[in-house]
Structure 1
């Protein structure tokens, strides 16, 4: 079954906590002396919150309820792209406007698809310079266009089995194109795989069974939030 994508064209948040790599740690509790031993994994897990999503008409209410029905609590995964305004941090040239670069293109008659979305094309062009093993945290990249690639930026790999996953640049050498990133690769990738800086996406689940609770004021108006956690 095809995993659906969160429809930003219909349900786009006005604020977000995206993305955040939450540490995974385990503690045996404190001893009598008060000392605590904590063991942590360097893998972490992605969490995300889409906040203040305008739900103000029939189509938006039904879209929200349809996604809630599909997710069925924490049962089914959904692909979550970064909101549009996160594209301002993509590595395009300083002389360009992200609004113009990433704006959807309409059909020839000026209309869009039924969900309000349009055609999109890639802008940033970066690929893996070699095969990368499961758990890798570094690579040599092949950069065709990414004039402002730098640490802190987020990209995604579209893995064959695990679907799209977010990764964050930790270090970048402009002379050698050597990159380190986190978390460790969720799945091996082959040489030439695309680093998606245009619309980084991650396969996630609802963080709790009631994460899509929708409270509406009459006649049908609300600003709900939804929390996700990476589908591991």
Structure 2
């Protein structure tokens, strides 16, 4: 099984996250007026940048070093959080904090503390197979509009398009990119803090000047690890 790490968001939070689609289209010849026709394909991937990461404390600099040593350039795998508070389908219409609750039997952890649970609950209403470009979503506690929102499942990141069909509480929506790995019916989807499995976009993407006397600001670029999903589908990992 491939090894990966998580971006330490609590210690190295960026000022902003830029998560953008990189579609792959092919040409279909030219029309009668000479314009080139482009045709959408099911291929495409995510480009994600963490912009404005501040390095100041020794702990931050050590963590930065540890992450880049683990990744060792573009070959390493890292799960990057893709905060989507600006588009997340909160039931209230504005950002909501995580809920503190007990286990299903009403009991807390052994030390009496409660566990946190995201406020957005959406499930996959029907199995989505690898390569699917539409999914069926069943919202449990969200606002009524599921168009233009992001979610993840097992660290594969998706973004929805305008609704194709709404039947009762089930939304059928297109997604980008094509489904990376099978999503079973009834699976809980991550809308509160979507994540994406990625590689560094450049072998030297985490170069920094280590000067303990100043605060330095850095940006890091990642690309979705499509090779991982391809190998997983082929049964190689």
Question: Is the shorter-chain TM-score for this pair beyond 0.5, marking a shared fold?
Answer: yes
Superposed, which structure 2 residues align to 1:54-65 within 5 Å?
54-65=54-65
Give me the CA root mean square deviation: 2.9
How many matched pairs? 205
Q: TM-score scaled by structure 2?
A: 0.76
Distance 1:143 1:214, change over 3 A: same
The CA deviation at 1:188 is 1.6
Match for 1:208 among 191, 202, 206?
A: 202
SS in 2 for 1:54: strand
What's 1:114 paired with?
none
What's 2:11 paired with?
10
The CA deviation at 1:179 is 2.1
> Is 1:130 paired with 2:126?
yes
Aligned mates of 1:73, 1:21 — CA distance in 2: 22
Please, which runs of 5 or more residues in structure 2 have no aligned partner?
28-33, 102-108, 227-237
What's 1:52 paired with?
52
SS in 2 for 1:53: strand
What's 2:105 paired with?
none
What's 1:147 paired with?
143
Contact 2:99 2:119 in 1 (8 A): no
The CA deviation at 1:221 is 2.4
1:83-122, CA deviations, whole angstroms, 9 ceiling, x for partnerless residues?
Answer: 4xx3242111236543xx14899xx9xxxxxxxxx96422
Distance 1:218 1:125, change over 3 A: closer
Distance 1:36 1:180, change over 3 A: closer
61-70 or 129-138: which moved more? 129-138
Aligned mates of 2:3, 2:78 — CA distance in 1: 10
Distance 1:2 1:148, change over 3 A: farther
Superposed, which structure 2 residues align to 1:20-35 within 5 Å?
20-24=20-24
Distance 1:37 1:131, change over 3 A: closer
Q: TM-score scaled by structure 1?
A: 0.77
Contact 2:16 2:51 in 1 (8 A): yes
Aligned mates of 1:95, 1:179 — CA distance in 2: 20
1:46-97, CA deviations, whole angstroms, 9 ceiling, x for partnerless residues?
Answer: 01001110111100000000000001001110000114xx324211123654
The CA deviation at 1:206 is 0.2
Aligned mates of 1:70, 1:126 — CA distance in 2: 34
Aligned mates of 2:162, 2:79 — CA distance in 1: 26
The CA deviation at 1:133 is 1.3
